[in-house]
Amino acid sequence: MCKWPSSFPGTRPVLKAGTTINSMIDVGAYHKGGSCQFTLSYDNGTTWVVFQDIFQTCMGDASNGINYTLPFNLPASAPSGPAILNLIWNNNEGNREIYSSCADVVIDGTNGGSLSGVEPLIANYGPNTPFIQEAVLANGNYGQAYFAARKPVTVTVPAKTSSKRRSLNRIVNY
pLDDT digits (tens, 9 = 90+) for 114-136: 999 999 999 889 889 988 887 76
Cα separation, 16 vs 3, whole angstroms: 25
pLDDT band for 32, please (50, 70, 90 cuts).
low
Is the model's pLDDT at 63 over the cut of 70?
no
**Rounded-to-integer distance, Cα 41 and Cα 112, Å:** 14
Domains of the chain: 14-173 (2.70.50)
Rounded CA separation 125/128 (Å): 8
Give just the sign of the alpha carbon dihedral 18, 20, 21, 23: positive
Choice between 142 and 19, residue whose per-residue pLDDT is larger? 19
Mean pLDDT calculated for residue range 134-157: 83
Planar angle of CA 153, 32, 18, nearest 5 degrees:
40
